[in-house]
Structure 1
Amino acid sequence: MSTPVEPDVAALARRWRIELDLGASGTPDWKVCPGVTAFDPEAEPNIEDSSDYDSDGWAGNTKTGQSWALNITINRRINDQAKTYNAVHEAIRLASFAYGSASRVHVRYMDRDGLPEAYEGRALVTWKPSGGEYTALDQVEVTLTGDGPLLPIDNPVAETTP
């Protein structure tokens, strides 16, 4: 008797969920960033040549640093009755115009289906409205450039996902 094989399926790009900490008193208040239409994470190592005579001609390399960024596109969300933008979108936009600690956002992103991949860090914000034709949606290209480490975390939605 053979062991049944578990099915393998392709993961979808839309599996990512991004949250921003809107807490003001040091206690995290995580809110979902809605309207994400594109998500492109980067975590590039800095590799330096560490070759020496002792390696019989084989090149040596050493990781000496790391940087990270999130490039996302969002559809702006509004409350047309109250004439306000989504609070997460506004926090990102306002951070892009600020200096010092106000120019950083505390962000985390995770697999929305509860798989173990999840990360958290602090980032500087670049906010670039896309513009467009009269039929276009109001989209913004956002770059979150890491300021410090991007830490793997336990996926906070893992326990709530069936």
Structure 2
Amino acid sequence: MATTPTDRRTMLARRLRVDIDTAAFPASQYQRLMGVQELKPIDELRTESDEAYEDDGAARESVTGYNWRLEVKILHSTNAAGTALDPVHAFLQTKYHAAKNGVANGEFGVRWYDRNGVGDAKEGRAYVKQWSPDGGNGGAQDTVSIVIQGQGPLDAEVTNPVADLTPAVTGLAPAGGPTAGGNLVNVYGTHLAGTTGATGVKFGANNAENYMVVSDSHIVATAPAGVAGTVQVSVTTPDGTSPNVNADNYTYA
């Protein structure tokens, strides 16, 4: 007797990836949270009792809102040289301490998504509500349990950043410079790692004098000379050229 072929693929828990926005609002620079050992995204309804006499003692609840959070366990890590903490881990720990003086001081952007590009991403503002080293014996790894507590709405309509590998520019720092050029410009975005060649970064019609790809979300470029006015900074990789958006406007003055 013929067996029925399997027509599905079971998804793995490790498919989920978390990015932390380490830039100061309104700029945006998402960096991947590395060393994730466990991840539990929680999105739950907030309810209150809505029971009345006519319910004859039966429980009834009314939904009054919702809350969301990420419960994460990370392998506390350093850089490859062992001389400094992983920058995203250090950022989260700093934000935890900042929140002690007011939640607004510790807020940042966070998003999570399927690393295979399946489905949409979720994104929102949050703060670190819990930073708890797990301890252990002398031979144990240093793990930290973190609660990233949502602040305000959770946007579930965000496009999965790995669903389309076309590069995108999400911010410039500074967003302008002299017509003589020669100044360094931080180009922030997504899918920037594949940028190569003289035409990889352009200021309007002119190639950047030079550039260095720092990470998938960060390029440092030297602005070429230009005429007074606003031009588009574009990034090109084998997957395409970044679309024109307001965030890529660079003004020569």
Q: Do both proteins adopt the same fold according to a TM-score greater than 0.5, normalized to the shorter chain?
A: yes
How many Å apart are 1:160 and its aligned residue? 2.8
Counterpart among 139, 142, 146 of residue 143 in structure 2: 139
Aligned to 2:16: 16
Task: Work out whether residues 44 and 68 of structure 1, in 8 Å CA contact, stay in contact via their aligned partners in 2.
Answer: yes
AA at the equivalent of 1:66: Y
Task: Work out whether residues 73 and 139 of structure 1, in 8 Å CA contact, stay in contact via their aligned partners in 2.
Answer: yes
Query: C-alpha offsets along residues 85-109 of structure 1, whole Å, 9 cap, x if unaligned?
Result: 0111011001111133221221111
Within 5 Å, give how 1:111-122 maps onto structure 2.
111-122=114-125
Percent identity of paired positions between Structure 1 and Structure 2 = 33
Distance 2:25 2:151 in 1: 21
Distance 1:92 1:62 in 2: 35
Task: Work out whether residues 92 and 105 of structure 1, in 8 Å CA contact, stay in contact via their aligned partners in 2.
Answer: no
Aligned to 2:153: 149
AA at the equivalent of 2:27: T
Aligned to 2:72: 72
How many Å apart are 1:138 and its aligned residue? 1.0
Query: C-alpha offsets along residues 8-48 of structure 1, whole Å, 9 cap, x if unaligned?
Result: 11111101100001113522101000000000111110234
CA radius of gyration, larger in: 2
AA at the equivalent of 1:63: V
Change over 3 Å in CA distance of 1:24–1:6 after alignment to 2 = same
Task: Work out whether residues 128 and 141 of structure 1, in 8 Å CA contact, stay in contact via their aligned partners in 2.
Answer: yes
Distance 1:49 1:133 in 2: 45
Distance 2:134 2:59 in 1: 44
How many Å apart are 1:81 and its aligned residue? 3.0
How many Å apart are 1:157 and its aligned residue? 1.0
Aligned to 1:110: 113
Within 5 Å, give how 1:17-36 maps onto structure 2.
17-24=17-24, 26-36=26-36
Aligned to 1:42: 42
Q: CA RMSD in A?
A: 2.5
Q: What secondary structure does 1:66 align onto?
A: strand
Distance 1:42 1:111 in 2: 16
Which runs of 4 or more aligned residues in structure 1 lie more than 3 Å from their structure 2 counterparts after TM superposition? Answer: 47-53, 58-62
AA at the equivalent of 1:96: Y
1:160 pairs with 2:169: no
Question: Unaligned 5+ residue runs, structure 2?
Answer: 167-253
Change over 3 Å in CA distance of 1:114–1:130 after alignment to 2 = same
Greater relative contact order (CA < 8 Å, ≥ 6 in sequence): 1
